Amino acid sequence: MEVKASLKHLRISPRKARLVAGLVRGMTAVKAVDQLKFLNKKSAHPILKLLNSAISSAVNNYDLDKNNLIIKEIRVEDGKTLKRWMPRAHGRATVIRKRMSHIYIILSEIVDSGKREAKKIVIEEPVKLEDLGQKSKSDKKEKIEKVEKSVDTKVGKSDNKSFAGKMFRRKAG
């Protein structure tokens, strides 16, 4: 069973990220996590987060054992390059390339467990508003009418053309 995870548009150059990826390539998942926790490189933290994501995906979706996972493949590819300009001598400008990288990781099992399918999520019937304790539109209209009547009687006018009747009446459109 293989589990894949990807991280795109990481704002670290691929050359620097490949140093860390090469260090954990082929390790078991638990050893790689320990290695990345104490590695003093900027790209170690995003790769650790990606590895943890892949591990949790394998454990939760496929019921695989965390200790039975190995990093089968980890690739670092070039992403987009942001181009910025820097002024130089004699009125010239030189380009500064701010590189991004895409990281792909594939975890596989050391000893095959035979599990092939992900868990299926069963969606139940939609919940009705009445079941949640919320009132329907007709109940809201009745409540508004009661408020209008109580305000009209306090003011002393019972017709809908009074100030309170105009104020609390809802207009369509």
In a domain, 121, yes or no: no
Top pLDDT among 103 and 127 is at 103
In a domain, 52, yes or no: yes
Pair 80, 152 in one domain: no
In a domain, 40, yes or no: yes
CATH of the domain at 49: 3.90.470.10
Pair 92, 159 in one domain: no
Pair 50, 86 in one domain: yes
Domain that holds residue 156: 135-168
In a domain, 19, yes or no: yes
Which pLDDT tens digit goes with each residue over 33-51? Answer: 999 999 999 999 999 999 9
Pair 6, 53 in one domain: yes
Q: What is the mean pLDDT of residues 97-103?
A: 97
Q: Got the DSSP string for the chain?
A: -EEEEEEEEESS-HHHHHHHHHHHTT-BHHHHHHHHHT---TTHHHHHHHHHHHHHHHHHHH---GGGEEEEEEEEEEEEEEEEEEE-GGG-EEEEEEEEEEEEEEEEESS-----SPPPPPP-PPPPTGGGT---HHHHHHHHHHHHHHHHHHHT--STTSHHHHHHPPPP-
